[in-house]
Amino acid sequence: MANEKQPQEQDLMEKIVSLAKRRGFIYPSSEIYGGINGFWDYGPLGVELKRNLKDAWWQDIVRCPPTGPDGLPVEMAGLDCSIIMNPKVWEASGHVVNFNDPLVDCKQCRARFRADKVFSVKAAVGEDVLVLVGAEADSADQARAAATAAANSKTRRRLEEKADRIEWVIFRADLAPEGQSTPCPLCGGQLTDARKFNMMFKTFVGAMEDSSAMAYLRPETAQGIFANYKNVLDTTRVGVPFGIAQIGKAFRNEINPRNFTFRSREFEQMEIEFFCHPSEADKWYTFWRDTRYQWYIKHGLKSSKLRLRDHEPSELAHYARACADVEYEFPFGIAELEGVANRTDFDLKSHQAAAGRDMTYYNDETKERFLPYVIEPSGGCDRATLAFLCEAYSEDEAPDEKGVMQKRIVLRFHPRLAPIKVAVFPLVKKDGMPEKARALLDKLRPHMAAFYDEKGAVGRRYRRQDEAGTPFCVTVDGQTMQDGSVTIRERDSMQQVRIPMDGVLAHVQERLA
Ligand code: GAP
């Protein structure tokens, strides 16, 4: 068994970003031109990882839905809507008026920040001000920690010495008390008052570039589902309670994209809108909240880093009756992977009023007509992919060919998510071994993502696959040429067993299931 040694959290993110680039998981978008902030490309391994994640979600939600609270499989339908829709959708949904982030600018260096992510941090003992800085953070605690970490050694020593007497005054830039401002986190200059910034990307449809031709890139996939709710009801056999699921791109002109892919301007969502009778909404909310939380655990986010957090009533949107976040402790802090909300009949009611279409549902059995309530589990593919990458990353030591212990980076992905399931190597590039190995590859490829490598020492080839998260490596060697057996090495334990070459497919399939 490998000798575990987890890296320090602070440089873990740097290591993950570097591995992601080096091994072709994630690249900065249009990097040859210096990149573009908030946009990312998935390389050959990354696209497989993200696709496996989306396929697993689609399979577990749409094709083989979970068993509901009544013991029957949940009814689900899939959908793939256009990214650009009639702009009236976004007026009805409230996005045109309300999809805003508060924005502040530095009057001195012109840097721009999300006002709810910048804090003024002051530490003073009476008139003696030890610290007065601006800090970018998600919470007051994080801001205080960031300000302390950024202080010079003399100030840090004073903070420690006077710890009992220090008064900390910390406030968010958009909630600054009258007459007080927040220093710029970059240059210390003064920040402007907060103003609203709508995050929807605008574009023009057709040849005219005037307001009549303006449209939006969707900031969420959910509204396409509401707009098609009647279509799905009328063209399929589903009836309330049922859900519509969609995976697709969403675009938000985030003021400050950051933390690698976590907050991007173009990203993918996996969303379910589940329509139910208002009297059953609490039951379905609890069901979906717990089911979605368990899904992440099942796929490897097992550690104490995953949590389910119910929102306080004060955090709820005005239309929501309940909301919970599935959160993960990334190296940069605890943050949301997926939100599950009881959105009541807010969306259907809004579209009913704006479009003038009847959105009610008639139950033939109970003879009741009603507007369904909606439970919405809404997750991000990119955030989930990043969480699985962070969770999978580990460092340990493994012996090389000469038995000397060497550092090993290994991505311990759940086999369902692993980009490559099995790699096949000939021990050497001669004596008929490459031909045998390629024949095995041809047998495996129709069933799973398989990879062939004949370059370099076999130990190095194992290590490259460990870094890619490949659960199994098969080696064709001299003994294969005599008795048709191969070695199969397991990524996590690094244990090797010898099995007949004909049995490799079944052996791997059994362990991937
Ligand atoms: N329809 C509800 C909705 O869109 P949201 O909390 O704004 O809710 C849902 O977004 C999920 O989409 C989030 O939990 C997150 O995983 C993902 N997401 C939101 N903004 C994102 C961004 N800028 N970059 C990456 N993922 C994002």
Is residue 451 over pLDDT 50? yes
Where residue 1 falls among pLDDT bands split at 50, 70, 90?
very low
Q: What is the mean pLDDT of the chain?
A: 94
Pairing of strands 118-125, 322-330: unpaired
Closest residue by CA, ligand 1 atom 8 = 378
Is residue 212 over pLDDT 70? yes
Query: Closest by alpha carbon to 292, among 375, 188, 182?
Result: 375
Is residue 472 over pLDDT 70? yes
Where residue 303 falls among pLDDT bands split at 50, 70, 90?
confident
**Ligand 1 center from residue 279 Cα (angstroms):** 28
Query: Closest by alpha carbon to 391, among 345, 444, 329?
Result: 329
Residue range 152-157: mean pLDDT, rounded: 92
- Phi first, then psi, for residue 344 (nearest 5°) are 50, -145
Measured CA to CA, the distance from residue 32 to residue 308 in angstroms comes to 40
Contact 216, 205 (CB under 8 A): no
Is residue 200 over pLDDT 60? yes
Ligand 1 contact via 344 beta carbon (within 6 Å)? no
Atom nearest to 384 CA in ligand 1: 16
Is residue 8 over pLDDT 80? no
Give the sheet arrangement for strand 485-490, strand by strand: 450-452, 422-426, 472-476, 485-490, 496-500
Ligand 1 contact via 172 beta carbon (within 6 Å)? no
Q: Higher pLDDT residue, 399 or 168? A: 168
Atom nearest to 222 CA in ligand 1: 1
Per-residue model confidence (pLDDT) at position 414: 97
Closest residue by CA, ligand 1 atom 16 = 380
Per-residue pLDDT tens digits for 327-339? 999 999 999 999 9
Is residue 439 over pLDDT 70? yes
**Ligand 1 center from residue 269 Cα (angstroms):** 7
**Ligand 1 center from residue 332 Cα (angstroms):** 18
Best mutation site among 40, 247, 336 for ligand 1 pocket (most ligand atoms within 8 Å of CB): 336
Measured CA to CA, the distance from residue 417 to residue 188 in angstroms comes to 45
Q: How many residues are recorded in the chain?
A: 513
Atom nearest to 325 CA in ligand 1: 14
Is residue 390 over pLDDT 90? yes
Interhelix angle 381-392/44-58, nearest 10 degrees: 110
**Whole-model pTM over 0.85:** yes
Where residue 10 falls among pLDDT bands split at 50, 70, 90?
low
Atom nearest to 338 CA in ligand 1: 14
Residue range 66-71: mean pLDDT, rounded: 95
* Biggest CA pair distance of the chain: 85
Closest residue by CA, ligand 1 atom 22 = 263
Measured CA to CA, the distance from residue 338 to residue 320 in angstroms comes to 16
Q: How far is CA 174 from CA 59, 177, 440, in A?
A: 43, 9, 62
**Ligand 1 center from residue 342 Cα (angstroms):** 16
Ligand 1 contact via 431 beta carbon (within 6 Å)? no
Closest residue by CA, ligand 1 atom 26 = 380
Per-residue model confidence (pLDDT) at position 9: 63
Percent of the chain with pLDDT over 70: 98
Atom nearest to 337 CA in ligand 1: 16
**Ligand 1 center from residue 153 Cα (angstroms):** 39
Where residue 2 falls among pLDDT bands split at 50, 70, 90?
very low
Is residue 462 over pLDDT 90? yes
E runs forming strands in 305-392: 306-310, 322-330, 333-342, 361-363, 368-370, 373-380
**Residue 148 tokens, joined:** 């302390």
Percent of the chain with pLDDT over 90: 89
Per-residue model confidence (pLDDT) at position 188: 94
Sequence-distant (6+) residues with CB within 8 A of 364 are none
Contact 418, 480 (CB under 8 A): no
Ligand 1 contact via 264 beta carbon (within 6 Å)? yes
Per-residue model confidence (pLDDT) at position 153: 92
**Ligand 1 center from residue 380 Cα (angstroms):** 6
Contact 52, 416 (CB under 8 A): yes
Ligand 1 contact via 377 beta carbon (within 6 Å)? no
Where residue 5 falls among pLDDT bands split at 50, 70, 90?
very low
Closest residue by CA, ligand 1 atom 20 = 263
**Ligand 1 center from residue 385 Cα (angstroms):** 13
Residue range 446-456: mean pLDDT, rounded: 97
163 Rama class: left (phi>0) / alpha (psi -120 to 50) / beta: alpha
Ligand 1 contact via 254 beta carbon (within 6 Å)? yes
Closest residue by CA, ligand 1 atom 4 = 220
Q: From the CB of residue 92, how many other CB atoms can be counted at a distance below 10 Å?
A: 21
Per-residue pLDDT tens digits for 226-254? 999 999 999 999 999 999 999 999 999 99
Is residue 399 over pLDDT 80? no
Per-residue pLDDT tens digits for 319-329? 899 999 999 99
Contact 450, 421 (CB under 8 A): yes
**Ligand 1 center from residue 324 Cα (angstroms):** 13
Best mutation site among 79, 265, 269 for ligand 1 pocket (most ligand atoms within 8 Å of CB): 269
Per-residue pLDDT tens digits for 475-488? 999 999 999 999 99
Per-residue model confidence (pLDDT) at position 319: 87
Contact 173, 183 (CB under 8 A): no
Per-residue model confidence (pLDDT) at position 77: 98
H/E segment holding residue 499? strand 496-500
Ligand 1 contact via 382 beta carbon (within 6 Å)? yes
Per-residue model confidence (pLDDT) at position 318: 87
Per-residue model confidence (pLDDT) at position 138: 85
Best mutation site among 199, 220, 271 for ligand 1 pocket (most ligand atoms within 8 Å of CB): 220
**Residue 500 tokens, joined:** 């007949």
